[in-house]
Chain A
Amino acid sequence: MKPFTYERAGSPAEAAAAAARRPEAKFIAGGTNLLDLMKLQIETPAHLIDVNGLKLDTIEPTQEGGLRIGALVRNTDLAADERVRRDYGVLSRALLAGASGQLRNRATTAGNLLQRTRCPYFYDTNMACNKRRPGSGCSAIGGINRQHAVVGASEACIATHPSDMAVAMRVLDASIETVKPQGATRTISIAELHRLPGDTPNVETVLEAGELITAVTLPRPVGGSQQYRKVRDRASYAFALVSVAAIVQPDGSGRVALGGVAHKPWRLDAADAEMPRGAKAVAGKLFADAKPTEHNAFKLPLAERALASVLADARG
């Protein structure tokens, strides 16, 4: 671990400004991802800005009839919130499918969105990894990649985004509120937040240097049957091989996002349009450009079957 300095920010704008002053600064929220990565010298910030005291830990209704979730709301609290459980069941279920009770008590909404990949080569600093050391190569290609992306990947990186929560946020059309170092605020749709790896897998989101997430807002509830199905090698405390977040309306229309298959939560309008025609049609669209490896090709039929199972459950 590289030695670092530490400060507590007094307000969101101050935090962003402080980050801009120190190019090697990082925000720290729950620390459940960042600290692990620092111990392994994968993340090497010289300065930490603690955002836990920013009072961004409440969930409020919005004027549009949705919910505004503070960036620092803990995963446990978000999953347990009555409004979330009632109107955004897919989000509550996705959160509870992630990590463990202890971790969820600590993990925050913003931190969860920005958690980094679980590619094992990213975790081993002896190995080439374009995400960790740009230009060094990708060890996962041609290596152990059973967990990796089947769609939207590049020659530079085939990592997946590991979050469960983000997949539910994606199917709910959440948007991200931020404040930039100079004090300007903006709203980014969750579809835009995460990038595909392309040639720069080290750049994972559209956030600018020092840009702080202050909240995530959910639009008005859309009703429907809201399902989250996480498929994994053990019954708990494991990242998804694939996960399915789906909202199915009584008329069979709906939306679906997949986790564990791409560098970001994977959702396509063309696939949503196929919902009434069933899992095969939807998967056909979601995976139209899929390029699986020998070890992870099983994710294609697996995702389709998991979706079929979710649709069957939704129909009751």
Chain B
Amino acid sequence: MKFDTPATTNPIDQLKVVGQPVDRIDGRFKTTGTAPYAYERHDAAPDAAYGHVLGAAIAKGRIQSMDLAAAKAAPGVLAIVTAENAGKLGKGEYNTARLLGGPEIQHYHQAIALVVAETFEQARHAAGLIKVEYAPAKGAYDLAASRDKAKPAGTDDEPADSSVGDFDGAFGAAPVKLDATYTTPDQAHAMMEPHASTAAWNGDKLSLWTSNQMIAWSVGDMAKTLGIAKDRIHLMSPYVGGGFGGKLWVRADALLAALGARAARRPVKVALQRPLMFNNTTHRPATIQRLRIGATRDGTITAIGHDSWSGDLPDGKPETAVLQTRLLYAGANRLTRLRLSELDLPEGNSMRAPGEAPGMMALEIAMDEMAEKLGLDPVEFRIRNDTQVDPESPKRKFSQRQLTECLRTGAEKFGWAARRKPMQARDGRWLVGLGMAAAYRGAPVMKSAARVRLDARGIVTVETDMTDIGTGSYTIIAQTAAEMMGLPLQKVVVRLGDSTFPVSAGSGGQFGANSSTAGVYAACVKLREAVVKKLGLNAADAQFVDGEVRSGSRAIALGDAAKGGELVVEDAIEFGDLAKKYQQSTFGAHFVEVGVDAATAEVRLRRMLVVCAAGRILNPKSARSQVIGSMTMGAGAALMEELAIDARHGFFVNHDLAHYEVPVHADIPHQEVIFLDETDPMSSPMKAKGVGELGICGVAAAIANAIHNATGIRVRDYPITLDKLLKDMPLPA
């Protein structure tokens, strides 16, 4: 199905199942331990041996020698895989560094060996017996120090530079202006389930159970890396314990499990040890961001400029932190620039809302600072500069843009009017502050296919390689098929994350929910046609209701259409150029109340509220869960998350969950999520968008702004830990 004209009324609009806050289908399995994760496929690959990964002890250089003798002789060892004995390996399109290093080392903890043994403990012990001699080389690890050498760099979707009008002239002439620099640190996905895989060979065919967000990309990259045809690989990822962008690609666990299984002639499973999770895998790269905003005295932005510097390994990509600045606020004169340094830290890549998440951390403090300079309320300042058109090409409208409604609704529900000037509110030992920020995230769409089957019992089974990474894909896909076929949810079976299923959008960029359900919609339209035809009904008036197909005076059980054999159809949604004609984005407004301990400067959140306008909400329960998860992750970014770089050795020092702190329950107060009523006919037949990333965009800045309101102190370097506040805080009376 081609989607190239705005959606009109369709069966989804009935909203009998879609739009209802139903429980997650996979929830019960996950909470009762009956959802098998990639590392637990004892059912499918009994007798799997255990692999243990050895990571490089240096950040850059070469392996001079590797002595495997003691490890090979250790009890239980079945095989040891290294670059030397693995045979010729390619490199995946989506990988920057090689997944198996050696002799050249590209980053700290790059995998250099896999030890396969009968038990996990034996493999771990033997891995400790491998003796490696290195010839370290000098590397670059300091973004700030490399800033002057950074080069313009864009991505497939984003140019290095964008410019409209005369930024320099307008900024120079603006009566009120801000020129400030902000930094965001490297951050880890720190998902609960580490990268994990089980691999089994049957002749030259590989079965790979792996924790992964993008099945088709990953089949392609496994094939490319192993140098085998794609049809030799069966990749399965039905349950994923969190990804956040870290599992958009195959990682060392998958490749090494496959190589280990080949070498040991036995299924092998590999989970990246937690201490490897921070340097072996990808992370959100640090940024330095300079924002310049010029405005008239009444608060109309006349010039807005955003420069962002980030670093990555050679051939890597920039963090596109300027994305939102091109679209969020009006202003005639505009400039954005992306600059990239070569750094020898582990690979930087996508993490929840790449681009906007760190970009909004900077932009939305800058907006708060500007509002303060102008003497305007920060909500009003944003509303004054709202726009219904793409500020770079005013003929291009937003398909839906309810930013102002989000801001106004949030301000009212939160009690924003009670906000005082900085340092005026106190509750016992706590200095209290309110802060807010806009939320913005693009709403891209991707081609997505699905297969649907109808059997004689009237059960509809959906098969698509879409993944559910804890987001609720199983559930919203079932809701979509149920709505389309006039069935209760119980009559729909959803099977996901299998490379033998039609290729979906996958989970990433918050495009998964809208695109994958639209693909299921397309397949169901086809199934409805097949049913009508089979039953000899009139297509024009056929209705799918309560498990029946009704036409004229006839009502036939849906399953009857499959009496002579299962009906199976397949289709895909393909998106035309509506997304080019109209800018499609999601919007929101965050409001936060913090307390700052007057003595110790410890920051504790007291209240959080977000209002989201993000198209049709397919399931308010799972959507809310995505948004509060995002807000929590944003709170981590604001207050504690930072991969600490040892610039002498070139690695992230705090590489476990004790040293890399993420929020715990006690850090997160009451969170409220409001979804504005919205349908977007430009987005897809579902009229939906995505929310999984919107919620993280802006929240950290709202917290930073609330801290400023509480203390009068402006911190521009995340995370806002107490040491950055303490020096400017007067001693409490």
Interfacial residues, chain A to chain B (CB-CB below 8 A)? 1-3, 39-41, 118, 120-121, 123-124, 126-127, 139, 142-144, 146, 231-239, 241, 298, 301-302, 305-306, 308-309, 312
Contact = CB atoms under 8 A, between A and B. Distances in A.
Nearest to A238: B661
B202 interface: no
Contacts of B661: 233-234, 238
The 9 closest A-B pairs by CB, nearest first: A309-B599, A235-B666, A236-B666, A126-B57, A298-B723, A144-B653, A305-B599, A144-B644, A235-B667
A231 B600 CA distance: 7
Contact of A123 (B58, B121, B656): B656
Given A144-B653, A302-B600, 11 more contacts: A41-B128, A123-B656, A143-B648, A143-B653, A146-B723, A231-B722, A233-B722, A235-B666, A236-B666, A238-B661, A312-B732
B602 A236 contact: no
A41 B121 CA distance: 12
B429 A309 contact: yes
B648 A234 contact: no
Contacts of A118: 658-659
A3 B74 CA distance: 11
A301 B723 CA distance: 10
Contacts of A237: 664, 666
B474 to A, nearest CB: 30
B726 interface: yes
Contacts of B658: 118, 239
30 contacts: A1-B121, A1-B125, A1-B128, A3-B121, A39-B124, A40-B275, A41-B128, A124-B275, A126-B58, A139-B649, A143-B649, A144-B644, A144-B645, A231-B722, A233-B640, A234-B639, A234-B663, A234-B667, A236-B665, A237-B664, A238-B661, A241-B722, A298-B726, A302-B600, A302-B726, A306-B600, A308-B732, A309-B429, A309-B597, A309-B598
B430 to A, nearest CB: 12
A126 B726 CA distance: 35
B731 A233 contact: no
Contact of B664 (A121, A234, A312): A234
Contact of B599 (A124, A139, A142, A308): A308
Contacts of B275: 40, 123-124
Contacts of A3: 75, 121, 125
A234 B602 CA distance: 8
A125 B440 CA distance: 43
Interface in B634-658: 639-640, 644-646, 648-649, 653-656, 658
Nearest to B729: A305
A120 B659 contact: yes
A251 B631 CA distance: 48
Contacts of A312: 732
Q: Is the interface of A mostly helix, strand, loop or mixed?
A: loop
Nearest to A309: B599
B580 interface: no
Interface in B393-428: none
A3 B57 CA distance: 23
Given A235-B667, A236-B667, A124 B726 contact: no
A233 B639 contact: yes
Nearest to B124: A1
Interface string B696-733: 00000000000000000000000001110011000110
Contacts of A308: 599, 731-732
Contacts of B646: 139, 143-144
A121 B653 contact: yes
Q: Is the interface of B mostly helix, strand, loop or mixed?
A: loop
Nearest to B120: A1
A238 to B, nearest CB: 6
Contacts of A127: 649
Interface in B103-160: 121, 124-125, 128
B283 interface: no
Interface string B69-84: 0000001000000000
Contact of A235 (B128, B664, B726): B664
B604 interface: yes
Contacts of A143: 646, 648-649, 653
Contacts of B128: 1-2, 41
Contact of A124 (B644, B653, B666, B723): B653
A230 to B, nearest CB: 10
A162 to B, nearest CB: 10
B125 A2 contact: yes
A41 B57 CA distance: 15
B125 A236 contact: no
B602 to A, nearest CB: 6
A231 B726 CA distance: 13
B123 to A, nearest CB: 10
Contacts of A39: 124
Contacts of A306: 599-600
A121 B646 CA distance: 10
Given A233-B639, A233-B640, A120 B726 contact: no
A239 B658 CA distance: 9
Contacts of A309: 429, 597-600, 732
A231 B731 contact: no
B664 A120 contact: no
A54 B122 CA distance: 31
B654 A231 contact: no
Contacts of B639: 233-234
A302 B649 CA distance: 30
B501 to A, nearest CB: 38
Contacts of A238: 661
B521 to A, nearest CB: 43
Nearest to B125: A1
Contacts of B649: 127, 139, 143
Contacts of B656: 123
Contacts of B655: 120, 124
Nearest to B660: A120
Given A124-B275, A127-B649, A305-B599, A233 B721 contact: yes
A262 B222 CA distance: 50
A1 B57 CA distance: 18
A139 B659 CA distance: 16
A48 to B, nearest CB: 14
A269 to B, nearest CB: 25
Nearest to A239: B658
B592 to A, nearest CB: 15
A212 to B, nearest CB: 27
A309 B601 CA distance: 12
Interface string B586-614: 00000000000111111010000000000
Highest count of chain B CB atoms <10 Å: which of A127, A233, A239: A233
B731 A235 contact: no
A237 B661 CA distance: 9
Contacts of A234: 639-640, 661, 663-664, 666-667
B512 to A, nearest CB: 30
Contacts of B727: 298, 301
Nearest to A118: B658
A124 B646 CA distance: 13
A302 to B, nearest CB: 6
B193 to A, nearest CB: 18
Contact of A231 (B58, B602, B645, B653): B602
Contacts of A121: 653
B525 to A, nearest CB: 49
Contacts of B75: 3
Contact of B648 (A124, A142, A235): A142
A1 B655 CA distance: 19
A97 B731 CA distance: 25
